[in-house]
């Protein structure tokens, strides 16, 4: 019996080896067949579909474009020489970033921005930074240079916390004189007064906002001020124990630095970028005067839906003095806002003083449905 079992196992082993040898022979024969078929002009094997070939061509062209990108030939010879020294891997990484993918649409600006010496101080080019960010090239692609910082920052001297060489004004006093309504006077009392008085139906004091939320059994803990400038609203809400992040840009003035010196958080992001906040975690979103008719309609619609994304159910969207022509408000913006399906808590429209083309201001407080 034992001998029979051993013979059977040996037979099975021989059969398995023979099967594998036959399989290898068949595979090699098949491979040879396909190879000869491919090399033959009279092949009967179906050809690769044209749409796949086009996709392959596109992929190859994209790879070649990414790895062999050349500067604009219209540029001056000195500029081309300096750009040629730019590290290719820096350009490659900037182009492959899924968020900064728009960078490739502006090769001249990108090359100027990436023309720096690695492991040294970054160039002083704030204007170039803002231009790229506004064009969707954000986050910016630099990887190996050190950002510049003020030499002797001091809490008692606000001016010492800013690199003024970037700007025309060289002090906050200058900015306050030239732009008295932009909040460069960093005293908390003045910042609070901007959101504490009720002078017209367009105003929504912080105390009234908190009362509205309280009466609706809605808690305000976290907010975002879109286009919040110097952070005046965030400072007023901080006094009410509400944390507000401020999105801002440094247009010819140190807005981000002003927000930070108030002990607040500036988010240096453009209006067209998806906000770096998780879904449904924000209690309040305020859109300041930066959100106005000058924004392309499609971009504005995307902005509103992104704000809806981060707002929790029952949260509030506050459009503070939204500016447009009356006819556009009625025919374009009001229907766009209506798509959100929010409850109108406040909706006040007032004519712009000295209006020549029918411009109006809208202040609206809207509440997101708890559930859809």
pLDDT band for position 52 (cuts 50, 70, 90): low
Instruction: For residues 133-148, give the mean pLDDT.
Output: 80
Using one digit for the tens of pLDDT, what is the confidence trace for 294-311?
A: 888 988 999 999 999 999
Asked if pLDDT for residue 92 goes beyond 60, the answer is no
Cα–Cα distance for residue pair 187/366, rounded to 1 Å: 30
Closest by CA to 365, choosing from 303, 319, 308, is: 319
- According to the model, what pLDDT value does residue 177 have? 92
113 vs 71 pLDDT, higher one: 113
Cα–Cα distance for residue pair 156/152, rounded to 1 Å: 11
Asked if pLDDT for residue 247 goes beyond 50, the answer is yes
Task: Give the pairing of strands 243-247 and 266-267.
Answer: parallel
Q: Are 361 and 321 in contact (CB under 8 A)?
A: yes
Q: No. of H helices and E strands in the chain?
A: 14, 9
170 vs 124 pLDDT, higher one: 170
Share of the chain above pLDDT 90, in %: 43
Q: What is the CATH number of domain 185-368?
A: 3.40.50.150
Q: Is the pTM of this model over 0.95?
A: no
Burial of 135 (0-12, 13-18, 19+ CB in 10 A): middle
Backbone φ, ψ for residue 100 (5° rounding): -95, 25
Strand partners, 243: 222
Asked if pLDDT for residue 281 goes beyond 60, the answer is yes
Dmax over CA atoms of the chain, in Å, equals: 112
Instruction: For residues 22-39, give the mean pLDDT.
Output: 46
- According to the model, what pLDDT value does residue 51 have? 63
- According to the model, what pLDDT value does residue 275 have? 92
Strand partners, 359: 325
Average pLDDT, the chain: 79
Q: Could you state, in order of their start, the residue ranges of all structural domains in the chain?
A: 88-135, 185-368
Cα–Cα distance for residue pair 182/197, rounded to 1 Å: 17
Strand partners, 282: 311
- According to the model, what pLDDT value does residue 371 have? 80
Q: Which of 64-68, 77-81, 262-266, 288-292 is predicted least confidently? A: 77-81
- According to the model, what pLDDT value does residue 55 have? 59
- Alpha-carbon distances of 333 from 122, 291, 300, 319, rounded to whole Å: 42, 12, 9, 12
- According to the model, what pLDDT value does residue 272 have? 82
Q: Which residues 6+ apart lie within 8 Å of 46 measured at CB?
A: none
Using one digit for the tens of pLDDT, what is the confidence trace for 185-231?
A: 877 666 566 788 889 999 999 999 999 999 999 999 999 999 999 99
Asked if pLDDT for residue 270 goes beyond 50, the answer is yes
Asked if pLDDT for residue 350 goes beyond 60, the answer is yes
Cα–Cα distance for residue pair 61/165, rounded to 1 Å: 42
Cα–Cα distance for residue pair 236/238, rounded to 1 Å: 5
Closest by CA to 280, choosing from 196, 189, 368, 180, is: 368
């Amino acid at each position: 019996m034992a001998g029979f079992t051993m013979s059977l196992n040996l037979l099975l082993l021989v059969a398995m080896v023979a099967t594998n040898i036959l399989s290898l022979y068949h595979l090699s024969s098949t491979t040879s067949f396909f190879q000869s078929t491919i090399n033959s002009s009279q092949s009967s094997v179906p050809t690769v579909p044209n749409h796949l070939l086009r996709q392959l061509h596109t992929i190859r062209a994209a790879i070649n474009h990414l790895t062999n990108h050349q500067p604009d030939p219209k540029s001056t010879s000195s500029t081309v020489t300096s750009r040629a020294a730019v590290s290719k891997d820096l350009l490659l990484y900037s182009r492959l970033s899924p968020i900064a993918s728009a960078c490739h649409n502006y090769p001249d600006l990108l090359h100027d921005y990436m023309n720096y010496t690695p492991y040294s101080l970054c160039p002083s080019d704030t204007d170039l930074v803002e231009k790229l960010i506004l064009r969707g090239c954000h986050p910016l692609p630099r990887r190996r240079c050190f950002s510049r910082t003020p030499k002797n920052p001091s809490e008692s001297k606000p001016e010492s916390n800013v690199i003024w060489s970037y700007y025309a004004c060289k002090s906050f006093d200058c900015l306050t004189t030239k732009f008295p309504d932009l909040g460069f006077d960093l005293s908390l009392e003045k910042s609070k007064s901007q959101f504490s008085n009720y002078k017209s139906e367009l105003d929504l004091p912080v105390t009234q906002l908190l009362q509205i939320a309280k009466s609706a059994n809605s808690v305000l803990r976290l907010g975002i001020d879109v286009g919040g400038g110097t952070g005046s609203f965030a400072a007023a809400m901080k006094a009410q124990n509400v944390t507000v992040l401020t999105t801002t840009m440094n247009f010819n003035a140190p807005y981000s630095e002003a927000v930070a010196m108030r002990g607040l958080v500036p988010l240096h992001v453009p209006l067209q970028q998806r906000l770096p906040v998780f879904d449904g975690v924000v209690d309040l979103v305020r859109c300041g005067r930066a959100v106005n008719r000058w924004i392309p309609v499609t971009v504005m619609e995307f902005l509103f839906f992104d704000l809806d994304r981060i707002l929790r159910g029952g949260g509030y969207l506050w459009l503070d003095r939204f500016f447009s022509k009356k006819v556009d408000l009625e025919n374009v913006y009001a229907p766009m806002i209506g798509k959100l399906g929010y409850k109108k808590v406040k909706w006040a429209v007032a004519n712009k003083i000295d209006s020549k083309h029918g411009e109006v201001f809208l202040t609206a407080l809207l509440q997101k449905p708890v559930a859809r």
